[in-house]
Structure 1
Amino acid sequence: MPLHIAVDPLHGPQIAALLQAHLDEMHRISPPESVHALDLARLRAPDITFWSAWEGDALLGCAALRELDSTHGEVKSMRTEPAARRRGVAAALLTQVMDEASRRGYRRLSLETGTQPKFAPARALYARFGFETCGPFAGYVEDPCSTFMTRALSGAQDGTRQ
């Protein structure tokens, strides 16, 4: 069965459970001041578009795009169900986020992820998609538990790197 990715209204119990598992894991791995994962209420804000990935009735993952300003977006809430990992779900979701950011005319897409070994697969995925480490952005501060990454999007001028 093919993977289906769609904008999600964040009302179903499956997505609530996936996001709660994400928050719980982030709090197990990182100190409280280093957890930047968003809860359901914050993900429903108008500056965020949220997608879920499904295979039939099975929820496989999710991702969100937060608008920082008219030229800069942030990847948020990337999560793949453990049983669906290493099947291309995260890559498909990241492609969806990047395509939407480009469609909106963003020149830059950034993200924050962890420095701990548990986050190594995420950092590798982002690097494979052209993200490079950078300093804090959008109100984040230096944190030994955070890796900040960014990339220019197609159509961006050479001088737009931040």
Structure 2
Amino acid sequence: MRPDLRIEPVPFDHPDAVALRAAQRAELTARYGTPDSEPGPAPTAADTTVFLLARDAGGDAVGCGALRALGGGVGEVKRMYVVPARRRTGVAGVVLAALEAEAGRRGWTVLKLETGTEQPDAMAFYERHGYRRIPNFGHYAASELSVCYERALVPDAMNAAAIPLPWSRLGRPARRSPGAGPAAGHAHGPRKAGPALPAGGSAELA
């Protein structure tokens, strides 16, 4: 648990959520070289099940993540992002743990996600956290730059991780080591290889 972080659900159009998504989109553009094209529909307020913010001890929003229901007990992790100054400090792991716990509360049994070939940092992060690579699914099936993952959720583990609302502090169990996480979430973003970001500019953008 990180005592300096607080996880809270907010509306999709909350100003801090909008600002983090805009920063994420800018990084995707820098990483892939195109401003718009996505291999699948971008999440909206209508189809986002929950949007979580991570706040530091001063109340600043330092990360985010969202869930979108795919049906049949399956959900998709979306819009994972951590501000550059807080990368490699475990924030991404805390956000992912919170999303997994929320999925467990909803009775979901599988989480899927999509990232991109230009984001090896994101792929390594998800693999460290128990996600396995799968064939590209849904809207990403024909995307040559998409890389997809999934993880089966274990009900007992999810129940143990769950913290009732109102949200306060949530950390990943000690067996999960913090690391350089999705600095910017899954790459449902530009799908054209472009210039790499500067060293340390992790851009796991969703």
Secondary structure at the aligned position of 1:6 is classed as strand
Shift, 1:90, TM fit: 0.4
- Residues 96-138 of structure 1 show CA distances to partners (whole Å, capped at 9, x for unaligned) of 111111221112110000111xx22211111111101101223
- Pair 1:111-2:99 in alignment: no
Task: Confirm or deny: 8 A CA contact 1:5 1:54 kept in the other structure.
Answer: yes
Tell me if 1:9 matches 2:14: no
1:144 aligned counterpart, secondary structure: coil
Matches of residues 13-162 of structure 1 in structure 2 within 5 Å?
Answer: 13-30=15-32, 31=34, 32-34=36-38, 38=42, 42-55=43-56, 56-116=58-118, 119-155=119-155
Q: Structure 1: which 5+ runs fail to align?
A: 157-162
Counterpart for residue 159 of structure 1: none
Please, which moves more after superposition, 18-27 or 59-68? 18-27
1:112 aligned counterpart, secondary structure? strand
The residue type paired with residue 101 of structure 1 is: A
- Equivalent AA in structure 1 for residue 80 of structure 2: M
TM-score, normalised via structure 1 length: 0.82
Pairs aligned (count): 151
Displacement of 1:8 after TM fit?
Answer: 1.2
Q: 2: CA distance between counterparts of 1:35 and 1:87?
A: 30
Aligned to 1:160: none
CA distance in 2, matches of 1:85, 1:151: 23
TM-score, scaled relative to structure 2: 0.66
Could you tell which deviates more after superposition, 29-38 or 68-77?
29-38
What letter matches 1:52 in structure 2?
L
Percent identity of paired positions between Structure 1 and Structure 2: 35
> Which has the larger share of helix?
1
More strand by share: 1
**How far off is 1:52 after superposition?**
0.4
Residues in 2 aligned to 1:54 and 1:142: alpha-carbon distance in whole angstroms:
36
CA shift for structure 1 position 48: 2.4
Distance 2:30 2:40 in 1: 13
